[in-house]
Amino acid sequence: MRKSRAAYPLTWRVMDMLEAIAARLWPARFARALPYLMLAPAVLLVGILVLGLVQIGDSSLRVLDTSTFLMSEDYTLANYQRALTESFFATVAGRSLLGSVIVTVITLILAFPYAYLMVRTPSSALRNVLLVALFLPFFIGQVVRAYGWLIILGNQGMVNEALGLVGVPPMRLLYNYPAVLFGLIQYMLPFAVLMLAPALTAIPAELEAAASSLGANWLGTFRHVVLPLARPGLVGAGLVVVTLSLTDFAIPAILGGGSQDFIANAIYDQFFRTSDQGMGATLSLLLVAVGSLLVGLVFMLFGAGTLAMTGERK
Amino acid sequence: MSHDKFLTTEIRRRTLLASMAAVGASATLGTGKAFAQEPEKPAEIIVRAWGGSWVDSLKAGVSDSFTKATGIAVRHDLTEDNEIQPKVWAAVAQGRVPPIHINWDTTTNATKSALRGVTEDLSDLPNLKNTTELAKPVGLDGYPIVNTYGYVYVLAYRPSAFPNGAPKSWKDLLDPKLKGRIALYNDGIGFHFPAQVAGGGKLEDIPANMQPAWDFIAKIKEQQPLLGEDPDFTTWFQKGEIDAACTISTNAREAKKNGIELAWVVPEEGAKFDTDGLWIPKGLPENELYWAKQYINHALTKEAQQVWLDGLGLPGVVPGLTPPADLVGDPSYPTTEEDFKHLIRISSKVQVENESQWFAKFKEIMQG
């Protein structure tokens, strides 16, 4: 008697076959190893990064011989000594660190109400507008955005033209430290909002209503309910913004007018202008170290926020 | 490891001998004559170049006529000179074929590559015999680089910002009305040597004592200069951001051609004169090395130099070139001994050996 096709469809047979192949390739007794297998790509990626760091570490211990433009055979700490004693590197490092902290604080202050409004607004139209405004900059690269500011804030730019209409003479709005910080804040704002929004979404609106019904005014509710519960988002957003700002290259290069270098610019100069790979490697490692210390300090003081691995909310 | 090195040396020697024989057989290009010993032609030759009017001039003067004569296409790679350098160095160190056939480079940068030993020897180019002394790199043995023209770091200025006449001295940049309105290269290139004179020092003291230069640069820092690269100067002049800059005359001339109100002078302290050149990285296949050499040989013909350097507005290394009409008698286009008296030329070797320190010092002052 002929079997009914409907009784055992072809798709089931295919699935059975695939399952059989999978069972042969990855027997059930290997099941416990599956999580480790899934980790393999990440381990491989991190391994490559570590290998790169080892090579950079090796380069950092060699000095450039300017008679042959080759790195020295012998190891020395001379590059580290230069990096830690020459005032130029201290100036650039100080500017980068201070800048990243200022950018982080201002960005969080600006991002918080934006994210809060985006999450809490009952108007879907407003939420969509805020979302579009948030994502639009992601389609425009950092360099293009920085050049956009050159057009807007230049001596003959839109802002100065507008000021000219009310009798204010053109003023230099670009090529200084505030211009660099401004550019960084504008660049970092979407990152911060994106990190904050999930944390704010996780705060039940009923809690705010309860605080209000118990007599808390808006400020009290914000201070004692919203802000503490939003801390994981603030920490996560802060970590992302501070590390991206600290290591940024394009904004200081374009909006700084050449006199507001951050550490990344100094690293570029060593690798590509003076051909001193040793010094460039040294500065790179010091930047990694300072960035890691900063992040470690935040972890110790405030926890890992939304970047925490445990899923535990602090 | 040592075996590999030995093999590489052998190949290089064979390559060199073959190239010498082939290049020697054809003194010039453009005759349309095919030589029996000519190696196989590659589909293309890759020449690293600067963008804008720089590459346009190279294409018009050298590349197009090379392609016409040989049938080999020329691709211009516009990777920055500083960024191609580590790529070429890494390729040579790892025994790979380099990413370009010819590097159009500043002589200072090229000298670093020559000192590192990654450049092919070009002493056998037939057209070298027709060149002036300027073609020979100073302080290096043979021709690891062939200089192809010279250029001057002039003081370019906006005439309307100098109503009392053109600036005469680099010290004129210290005028308070120019605060925030001047620009220099971001590594100080072109400015160190005139600053040494403007600061009361002597050129003979370079590199031993450059304190006068640093003192003058520190005064310039008080003027809050913008620091940038070639394209920045044009943009800044165009957008009204600056009124004066120390820049290569070619950039100033190009900006003027584009309608920007601009003029330039060689101030009384003098202006830095330097050269650019062409070189070939080691590691090319034999036939490609041959044709790369032919390209450089072609760049040294009078016809190619005339068109190429008309575009750049720069003096070449072949006698008898005619200056562009707008640069006749211009101090940025030196042709006579008298013209060169106002220019400052320091050997590439001294520059290369001290560049890192000068760069660090300049940055220390400007970033402080």
pLDDT above 50 for A49: yes
Q: Are B240 and A156 inside 8 Å of each other by CB? A: yes
Instruction: Give Cβ neighbours of residue B178 (< 8 Å, ≥ 6 apart).
Output: B161, B172, B223, B243, B244
Query: Which single residue is written with the structure tokens 């600036």?
Result: B167
ipTM: 0.83
Report the C-alpha gap between B271 and B190 in whole angstroms. 8
Of the pLDDT bands very low, low, confident and very high (cuts 50, 70, 90), residue B23 is very low
Cα distance between residue A314 and residue A202, in whole Å? 13
Contacts of residues B8-14 at CB distance under 8 Å and 24 or more positions apart, as own/partner, are: B8/B95, B12/B282, B14/B286
B227: contact with A, CB 8 A cutoff: yes
Residue B229 confidence (pLDDT):
87
Are A74 and B353 in contact, with CB atoms under 8 Å apart? no
Angle at B82 between CA B356 and CA B120, to 5 degrees: 100
Q: Is B230 on the interface with A (CB under 8 A)?
A: no
CB contact under 8 A, A68 and B239: no
| Nearest Cβ partner for B82 among A174, A261, A272 | A272
pLDDT tens for each residue of B68-83: 999 999 999 999 999 9
- Rounded to a whole number of angstroms, the distance between the first and last alpha carbons of chain B is 47
Tokens of A118: 């985006």
CB contact under 8 A, A88 and B364: yes
Which tokens sit at B143?
């021709």
Contact B39, B18 (CB under 8 A): yes
Element containing residue A52 per DSSP (H, E): helix A34-60
B141 close contact with A: CB closer than 8 A = no
Going by the DSSP 8-state scheme, the letter that residue A226 receives in this structure is I
Q: What is the DSSP letter of B192?
A: H
How far A253 CA sits from the closest chain B CA (Å)? 9
Nearest CA of chain A to the CA of B368: how many Å?
6
Q: Which residue of A has its CA nearest to B85?
A: A272
CB atoms within 10 A of CB A81: 11
Average pLDDT over residues B234-257: 91
The answer to whether B238 contacts chain A (CB < 8 Å) is no
Residue A265 has pLDDT above 50, yes or no: yes
CA distance B353 to chain A (A): 5
Report the C-alpha gap between A299 and B185 in whole angstroms. 42
Asked if A68 has any chain B CB less than 8 Å from its own CB, the reply is yes
> Mean pLDDT, to the nearest integer, of A4-12?
76
User: How far apart are the CA of B293 and the nearest CA of chain A, in angstroms?
Assistant: 24
pLDDT class of A310 with cuts at 50, 70, 90: low
Q: Are B193 and B358 in contact (CB under 8 A)?
A: no
Answer yes or no: is pLDDT of B21 > 50. no
Question: What DSSP designation does B321 have?
Answer: P
Q: Quick count: other Cβ atoms within 10 Å of Cβ A305?
A: 23
Fold of B2-150+275-325: D-Maltodextrin-Binding Protein; domain 2 (3.40.190)
Give residue B15's pLDDT band: very low, low, confident or very high (50, 70, 90): very low
Q: Residue A171 has which token pair?
A: 């003023």
What pLDDT is attached to residue A30?
A: 84
Strand-pair category, B244-248 with B146-157: antiparallel
Query: Which ranges of chain A would DSSP assign to H, the alpha helix?
Result: 10-25, 34-60, 78-85, 87-120, 124-135, 142-153, 158-165, 177-201, 205-213, 218-221, 227-229, 231-246, 250-255, 263-268, 277-302
Nearest CA in chain A to B362: A88
Nearest to A259 among B80, B116, B366 (CB): B366
Q: How far apart are CA A269 and CA A179, in angstroms?
A: 22
Contacts of A88 (CB under 8 A, 6+ apart): A266, B360, B363, B364, B367, B368
Give me the residues paired with residue B75 across strands: B46
Residue-wise pLDDT for A217-229, tens only, equals 999 999 999 999 9
Q: Which two tokens stand for residue A94?
A: 């100080």
Inspect the interface and report whether the beta carbons of B85 and A275 lie closer than 8 Å. yes
DSSP A26: S
The domain ranges of chain B are: 2-150+275-325, 152-270+342-367
Residue B204 predicted with pLDDT over 60: yes
Q: What is the mean pLDDT of residues A80-91?
A: 94
Q: How confident is the model at residue A3 (pLDDT cuts 50, 70, 90)?
A: low
B150 Cα to chain A: minimum distance (Å): 21
- CB nearest B116 (choices: A70, A170, A272): A70
Q: Which domains does chain A show, CATH number per domain?
A: 93-307 (1.10.3720.10)
Res. A314 pLDDT band, cuts 50 70 90: very low
User: Where does the pLDDT of residue B17 fall: very low under 50, low under 70, confident under 90, or very high at 90 and above?
Assistant: very low
* CB-based burial label for A34 (10 Å; 0-12, 13-18, 19+): exposed
Q: Which band of pLDDT confidence, cut at 50, 70 and 90, is reported for residue A5?
A: low
Question: What is the pLDDT, as a whole number, of residue A135?
Answer: 86
Residue B36 has pLDDT above 60, yes or no: no
Residue A32 — very low, low, confident or very high, per pLDDT cuts 50/70/90? confident
Model pLDDT for residues B280-314, shown as the tens digit of each residue: 999 999 999 999 999 999 999 999 999 999 999 99
Asked whether residue B24 carries a pLDDT value surpassing 80, the answer given is no
The whole-angstrom distance between residue B228's C-alpha and the CA centroid of its chain comes to: 17
* A155:B86 CB<8 A: no
Q: Which CATH number fits domain B152-270+342-367: 3.40.190.10, 3.40.50.300, 3.40.1440.10, 1.10.460.10?
A: 3.40.190.10
| Contact flag A269-B355 (C-beta cutoff 8 Å) | no
Q: Which two tokens stand for residue A220?
A: 């009290």
